[in-house]
Amino acid sequence: MTRWTAEDIPDQSGRVAVVTGANSGLGYVTSLELARRGAHVVLGCRNEVRGKEAVARLIAAAPGADVELRPLDMADLSSIRSFADSIQASFPAVDILVNNAGVMAIPRRETADGFEMQFGTNHLGHFALTGLLLPLMVHQAGARVVTVSSTAHKPGAIDFEDLMHERRYRRFGAYSASKLANLLFTFELHRKLAAIDAPLISVAAHPGTSATNLVRATADGNPVIEFVMAHGVRLVGQSEAKGALPQLYAATAPEVRGGEYFGPNGLMESRGYPKKVDSSSASKDAETAARLWTVSEDLTGVTYGALRP
């Protein structure tokens, strides 16, 4: 695994992959490489115009790629339900779900359902989507749920008394909390799947410091901040293609096991090739994870009935 690249992805022919936030950045690269290896890839995208442009770029880069676009807004539970319904109507099983879409350190806004945007999109949206697609995955041999987190989870904390950051909103604090929630979800899903001996596994990955659209979104339209951040990322980080390798490894490498977490092998996990990495002690708190799970079911209305014996 020292220098694992996209060239090492095994054949994915006959497999169905769903990638959220697939029109740009890590999601686009992930979709492209899975399609290059023969997977049928469903690109879940909020913006239809950008989604169509992404499909066109993808087909140009990988002629014959078996891909399709479906509308998906991770900040809207009704959109998530409609997307999941369309997937269930189209496929008997899903082999790979990459929970990739995200927003980062934006000014406080709310989702269509009244959730703080970062927690609602990054965690609750993917919690809901995974639960709705679970019946297509839970009994599928070799199936994987890959949730994309960040090294920014490390200073994060879950405040159950103020999950939506209404008392005090700190944009990076809210982002860190949402990325911690991603890992708490990943590990709790792993425990629940292991308890019923399901073949489906739950894993996580992070891209290190990567030049993605999240960096531009963080600048919130400020050209000076965008310039500084973009150039800073170029100095210490890596390309989107390299940043996508940990989640591609997590999604496809045969040696991956449930509950594992992957990131770059370079200095401070900022760049490099995929390797298994550690996460904060808070991310491994089973009591917090169980409580967050219950709260997430209540907030989204999505219950994981397929996990019950």
Residue 227 has pLDDT above 90, yes or no: no
What percent of the chain clears pLDDT 90, i.e. is strictly above it? 87
220 contacts: CB under 8 Å, gap ≥ 6: 106, 107
113 burial (CB, 10 Å; 0-12 / 13-18 / 19+) is middle
Q: Is residue 65 part of a domain?
A: yes
- Strand ranges in 219-294 using DSSP code E only, listed in sequence order: 261-264, 274-276
Q: Is residue 219 part of a domain?
A: no
Q: Is residue 270 part of a domain?
A: yes
| Residue among 176, 185, 180 nearest 218 (CA) | 176
Residue 186 has pLDDT above 50, yes or no: yes
More confident residue, 237 or 169: 169
Q: Is residue 231 part of a domain?
A: no
146 burial (CB, 10 Å; 0-12 / 13-18 / 19+) is buried
Q: Is residue 4 part of a domain?
A: no
CATH number at residue 253: 3.40.50.720
pLDDT (tens digit per residue) in 116-159: 999 999 999 999 999 999 999 999 999 999 999 999 999 999 99
Residue 213 has pLDDT above 70, yes or no: no
**How many domains would you assign to the chain?**
1
Residue 212 has pLDDT above 90, yes or no: no
Task: Please tell me the least confidently modeled range out of 135-144, 162-171, 217-226, 275-284.
Answer: 217-226
Q: Is residue 233 part of a domain?
A: no
Alpha carbons 55 and 69: distance in angstroms, whole number: 7
Once rounded to an integer, what is the mean pLDDT over residues 209-236?
A: 52
Question: What average pLDDT is seen over the chain?
Answer: 93
Q: What is the pLDDT of residue 236?
A: 56
Q: Count the Cβ atoms, other than its own, within 10 Å of residue 13.
A: 10
Phi/psi at 305 (5° precision): -60, -30
Q: Is residue 235 part of a domain?
A: no
Alpha carbons 265 and 251: distance in angstroms, whole number: 17
Catalytic residues: 175
Residue 297 has pLDDT above 60, yes or no: yes
Q: Is residue 122 part of a domain?
A: yes
Query: Could you tell me the residue range of the domain that residue 198 belongs to?
Result: 10-207+243-301
Residue 188 has pLDDT above 90, yes or no: yes
Residue 215 has pLDDT above 80, yes or no: no
Phi/psi at 261 (5° precision): -135, 130
